[in-house]
Amino acid sequence: MEFRDNKAIYLQIADYVCERILLAKWKSEEKIPSVREMAVELEVNPNTVMRTYEMLQTKNIISNKRGIGFFVNEDAIANVKAYRKVQFMDDELPVVFRNIYLLNIGFDELQNRYDAFVKETFNT
């Protein structure tokens, strides 16, 4: 995984975990990699992964079964979507809106591009 400088590493790892859940690579009630396994896989300090897992626990996305490991919560998909939606609306959308305004892009053009993207990406 290549980390970007503009966002804390533990948040980038949270995005990675959330994406795996949304893509159903990690399913509801399924065990996820341990802190050590994830740290080795991503080549980061285990404390960074632990910080990520603790944050995701507070969002009810994963849970810790003491002595067994971390698991995807039953309602993780809905919780991931809620968490990511707030993150997108607060952090990314203002930048998109600024660019739309500065470049004088119309909503019709955006709708056409969005429709084409969805068709190419998800209707294969």
pLDDT, tens digit (0-9, with 9 covering 90-100), for 50-79: 999 999 999 999 999 999 999 999 999 999
Q: Range of 78's domain?
A: 1-124
The dihedral through the CA atoms of 9, 14, 18, 21 has a sign that is positive
The domain that holds 115 is classified in CATH as: 1.10.10.10
Q: What share of the chain is helix, strand, coil (3-state, %, to 5)?
A: 65, 5, 30
Q: Among residues 4, 5, 50, which one has the least CA distance to residue 17?
A: 50
Average pLDDT over residues 7-31: 95
Number of domains forming the structure of the chain: 1
Are 18 and 28 spatial neighbours (Cβ–Cβ below 8 Å)?
A: no
Q: What is the dihedral of CA 36, 15, 121, 107, to 10 degrees?
A: -170
The pTM of this model reads: 0.81
Q: What is the pLDDT of residue 5?
A: 82
Q: Among residues 98, 93, 78, which one has the least CA distance to residue 28?
A: 78
Is the pLDDT at 1 greater than 90, yes or no?
A: no
